[in-house]
Amino acid sequence: MTYRFVARDRLLFWCLIVGLLATSEARAQRGFELPDTVTRRAVDIWSEGTRLAGDLYAPRDLAADETRPTIVMSHGWGGTKALLTNVASRLAAEGYLVLAFDYRGWGESDGKLVVQGDMPDRDADGIVTVRAREIRNVVDPIDQTVDIQRAFDFIEGEPNVDTTRLGYWGSSYSGAHAIWVAAHEPRAGCAVGQVAAADSRSLAAVSWAGQDIAEHARLQAIRRARGDIDPLPQGTDKAPNLNGWAHLDKVLSYNPVDDAGRITIPLLVIDAGNEELFDRHIAGELAIQRAQANGAPAEYTVIPGITHYQVYGDHFEEATRMAVDWFAGCWK
């Protein structure tokens, strides 16, 4: 009984903390006004047939025939591109083009559809009319990395983009994606990841503390494949301290730190000294050590005395300045 009481209180505590943080961050963004020196244009990006909502930020003084270095950026676990407005506009004010977008099923993006009931016959053009359910607010890191690749595809088609100078910025779970991009996306020449949850095993160990989450994920995958439970992850496997639903078997298999030894491009990881959501030493710090061992110009920086979410608050300016300086160093 004591254990159940403690676990319940811990769950309520985390729900309260995350709710307050999300509310304060959203309020901050609603009150944020785009600088006069920056423009923003809504764009649609297509990823495996699904529309992603994006915002393209640009310096207002950008000439029609001019090209600039460009940064792709995406939100973290449970976030949206709306929460990237402040840092995206700051980077654009520094002279970069910036593409921020929502992953499939998040924010303003469409979600994948799953047919409900039997599939009807197709017509001569292969078209069917069905009832379908949209997948929303599910964290699927494999889909997310594909969406990032499609964002790079999109940006290559923009006339003002210098395709020889492309970079990526991500935070939290997308901070982990920054390590993945540095290891796997050949078009990226520079990357920044802050509070990078690069080892999902560590993240799960904290978020689902006290559970054998690997065994649970394995059994869920079996049941889902056999049709014994709902085929969609939404509604199940919610981490008590994080927003959205985890596609657990995919999350647990996604550990960019394991691929960091193949990184060759400049990579900066900015971590919180008192990181509470995962063990930063076996995530971002280890990733940088492995990149450096491969000869990459990689750097690991810690902001002492702060927690995960404080990088978006009191220490936003400090972390953003580090990112701005890092990209400037990449493209002198």
248-263, pLDDT tens digit by residue?
889 999 999 999 999 9
Q: Say whether pLDDT at 317 is over 70.
A: yes
Residue 22 has pLDDT above 60, yes or no: no
Cα 50 from Cα 151, distance rounded (Å): 12
Q: What contacts 58, CB < 8 A, 6 or more positions away?
A: 38, 39, 40, 41, 68, 92, 97, 98, 160
For 44, other C-beta atoms within 10 Å of its C-beta total: 13
Looking at per-residue pLDDT, the higher value among 4 and 83 belongs to 83
Q: How many CA atoms lie within 13 A of 193 on its CB side?
A: 32
Residue with tokens 């994948």: 112
| pLDDT over 60 (residue 2) | no
Q: What is the pLDDT of residues 289-309, one digit of tens each?
A: 999 999 999 999 999 999 999
The three-class DSSP label of residue 125 is coil
**232 compared with 58, residue with greater pLDDT:** 58
Cα–Cα distance measured from residue 196 to residue 86, given in angstroms and rounded to the nearest whole number = 19
**Partners of residue 138 on adjacent β-strands:** 245
pLDDT at 18: 42
In order of their start, the domains of the chain are: 2-104+136-290+312-324 (3.40.50.1820)
The secondary structure of residue 79, as a DSSP letter, is: -
As a residue count, the chain comes to: 332
Per-residue pLDDT, 116: 86
pLDDT score of 38: 97
Q: Residue 48 — very low, low, confident or very high, per pLDDT cuts 50/70/90?
A: very high
Distance CA 30, CA 57 (A): 17
Mean residue pLDDT of the chain comes to: 89
Residue 245 contacts residue 276 (beta carbons within 8 Å)? no
Average pLDDT over residues 306-330: 96
Burial class of residue 5 in the structure, from the number of CB atoms within 10 Å of its CB (0-12 exposed, 13-18 middle, 19+ buried): exposed
**For a pLDDT cut of 90, what percent of the chain falls above it?**
72
The pLDDT value given to residue 161 = 98
Name the band, by pLDDT with cuts 50, 70 and 90, for residue 32.
low
pTM of the model: 0.89
